[in-house]
């Protein structure tokens, strides 16, 4: 039954301008993130609509599954460093994973 055991982890989702992808991934790795997925999205926020029609208008959604403390560290850093000048959205969710050592 060990393979079906569920382990609690935190999912951190960051929606940000695509220009930030490299730096966000670098910062997250430095704070203990082991893996991530990126998807291109489009949408709108208080700062306006981002349609993603060409390079400078693209938006990404970055997902990290990690320990709660790591997710907190990443989120605090992102808010402190980028939120002032970039359109950034963040949220957390509790998730359960099968192989905890991977996150």
Q: How many residues bind other proteins (CB under 8 A)?
A: 18
Residues 19-38 that bind other proteins (CB under 8 A): 19-20, 22-23
Contact of 99 with 34, CB cutoff 8 Å:
no
Instruction: Please report whether residue 82 would count as binding other proteins according to CB under 8 A.
Output: yes
The residue within the footprint of other proteins, chosen from 1, 53, 80, 101 (CB under 8 A), is 53
User: Per residue in 45-61, is it b (16+ CB within 10 Å) or e — as a string?
Assistant: eeeeebeeeeeeebbbe
Instruction: Please report whether residue 51 would count as binding other proteins according to CB under 8 A.
Output: yes
Rg from Cα positions in the chain: 15
Q: How many CB atoms lie within 10 A of CB 96?
A: 10
Pick the piece of the chain touching other proteins (CB under 8 A) from 4-12, 47-55, 67-75, 95-103: 47-55
For other proteins, the closer of residues 76 and 102 by Cβ is 76
Tokens 């569920």 label which residue? 6
- Min dist. Cβ of residue 73 to other proteins (A): 20
């Amino acid at each position: 039954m060990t393979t079906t055991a569920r382990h609690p982890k935190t999912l951190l989702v960051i929606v940000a301008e695509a220009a930030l992808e490299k730096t966000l991934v670098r910062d997250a790795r430095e704070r203990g993130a082991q893996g991530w997925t990126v998807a291109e999205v489009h949408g709108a926020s208080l700062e306006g609509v981002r349609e993603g029609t060409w390079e400078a208008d693209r938006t990404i959604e970055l997902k990290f599954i990690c320990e709660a403390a790591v997710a907190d560290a990443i989120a605090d850093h992102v808010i402190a460093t980028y939120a002032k000048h970039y359109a950034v959205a963040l949220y957390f969710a509790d998730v359960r994973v099968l192989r905890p050592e991977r996150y």
